[in-house]
Structure formats: C-alpha cells, structure tokens
Copies of this chain bind each other. A is one copy, B any other.
Amino acid sequence: MAEIAGVIALSHAPGLTGWLDRASDAERDNLLAGYAEMGRWLRALKPDVIVGIANDHVLNLPLDNTPDFCVGTAGLWRGPAPWFRDWLNVADYIVAGHAALARRLVRDAAPRGLRLAFRDDLLFDDNWSVPLHFLTPDYDVPLVPIHMNCVVPPLPTPARCYRAGEVLADVLRGADEAGRVVVMATGGLSHDPGGPRYFQVDEAFDRAFLALMEEGDAEKTLREATVERMIAAGDGGTTELLAWIVALGAAGGRPARIVCYEPAQSLRCGMGGVVWDMGGAAARAA
C-alpha cells in the first residue's frame, strides 16, 4: 500500500528558465524564493515517485485521436525535446520513470471509469523541464508523467478532472509499487499563447483561482472555475489549470497553501504555486 505524501500545483511557463533576467527584480526574487521553497517542501517529503499531471501542449497527443489523459510507461525519460532546447535554456537531463506503477495506473483506473491512454515515448517540454529544474535539480526522484489534454476541444470538464484526481489517488493508495508519492500538477495560471493577449496576464482571475485553492471547497471550485472563465482569462493556456483541478481531486478537495504568486507579464504568464499538506505519516515525521 502506498501513501500520497503531498500534492503540489505550480506554473511551468518557459520564461522562468528562458528569460527570467527580463523579469523585474521583485518578480524574480519572489518566484525564485517560492520555487526554492516548493523544492524544499517536496524533497522533505522524501517521495519515492512523483506522479505528474500537465498539459501536453499538443506535442504528443495527436490531434486526430486526442485522449484526455495519457500515462508515460517508460523506465527512463530524457528532456527536453530537441525543438524546445534553445527556448527553455535548461541542460539536458535524464530522470527515471516507473513502468510498473504506470501500467498499474492504466489497469486500475479503467474499472473506476477513468481511461488512461499510455505510451513510452512522450516528449517533454516546459511541462516537466521547468518544474523539475527547480524542484528536483538532481533529477533523483522517478517521474510518472501524465500528459493531459487542456487545449484541444472538447476539453475534459472540471468535474471530470476532479474525479480523475480522486481516481488516481484511490489507485495510488492501493498500489504496492508506489511507496511515498507526490502528485504534481503543472501549468497555468492565466496566459494566452497564440491569442491577442499573449503579452497580458489576468491577475484578478489568478487571485480568485488561488483563493479557491486556498478555500478547499471542491463544489464551489467546480462551480466557479469553469472552462469558460479560464478561457476568458487567456484563451490558449489558462485551461492548463484543469491539471490543478486534478491535483485538488487527488488531495481530496482539502485547502491548499499558496506558496507564491506573481502576475509576471514579463514571462507572459501568471506564475505561482500551491501545496497540499496531506497530514500523513510523512507530515508527522517532518
């Protein structure tokens, strides 16, 4: 049996590694401090594996057969994909996968009504490259990546994403292979890659969304954090917050703690992160 030691959700926008020197001093200092804190929080939990969930950015999931969720079953992952190297400005890295756990997720989620597509050849872009750079710079925690569809219509509804998080947590708790797990959602907050507001951030939306995470009222979140509102806050990218809804479901809907937030126009994205302390054996020991 396994334990969900913690759940985290954080932005992954490429400016954080690609052109952070162009941010204001306040943005840079606040974000570097926040991401460092999230890294300490995560490493203190001593996870055996990170189960990640993030937007695929239409990089792997084909447009002619887009699944809602796709688990990576490889035993080893390399990043970033060549096309993203100069953009992301991170060193090439290798991180272990966890094939047995990934296959378990596919098998055990199905009877619970959650389809997980699977493949062993996912390419990584900012979705994992940016968070791992800050959170596990030694790439020493195995990763089971779940790429999800946040931007190819029709999108999975927030309710479906929340339920997916519940199912994942349920399956993980019953997985002998898992050990101590951190569930990590990446993406968001407001941004509009490909739209007319590419250079804008919707700070009011972001703060309202973060307040919902902090409040920990799942029903209210599903009522208010609609796809329509996300799109209104930035069409091309804000729906990455659906991954945060998965995380909220995995955390059982409990309140999150906001670690940092910056409406970083310089990075073309509302940037920040929240953590859910799960209050298990891990937290008690820490």
Residues of A near any B CB (own CB < 8 A): 64-67, 70, 110-115, 117-119, 153-154
B67 adjacent to A113 (CB under 8 Å): no
Q: Pick from B65, B114, B154: contact of A117, CB below 8 A.
A: B65
How many Å lie between the Cα of A117 and that of B64 in the bound state?
A: 5
How many Å lie between the Cα of A48 and that of B128 in the bound state?
A: 50
B119 adjacent to A64 (CB under 8 Å): yes
Question: Which are the 7 A-B pairs with shortest beta-carbon distances?
Answer: A65-B117, A110-B153, A113-B154, A110-B154, A64-B118, A115-B154, A65-B67
Total copies of this chain within the assembly: 2
Min Cβ gap A9→B in Å is 25
Min Cβ gap A137→B in Å is 32
How many Å lie between the Cα of A67 and that of B154 in the bound state?
A: 13
B154 adjacent to A111 (CB under 8 Å): yes
Name the B residues within 8 Å of A64 (CB-CB). 117-119
B65 adjacent to A154 (CB under 8 Å): no
Q: Pick from B70, B111, B154: contact of A153, CB below 8 A.
A: B111
Name the B residues within 8 Å of A115 (CB-CB). 66, 153-154
Name the B residues within 8 Å of A119 (CB-CB). 64-65
Min Cβ gap A155→B in Å is 9
Name the B residues within 8 Å of A66 (CB-CB). 115, 117
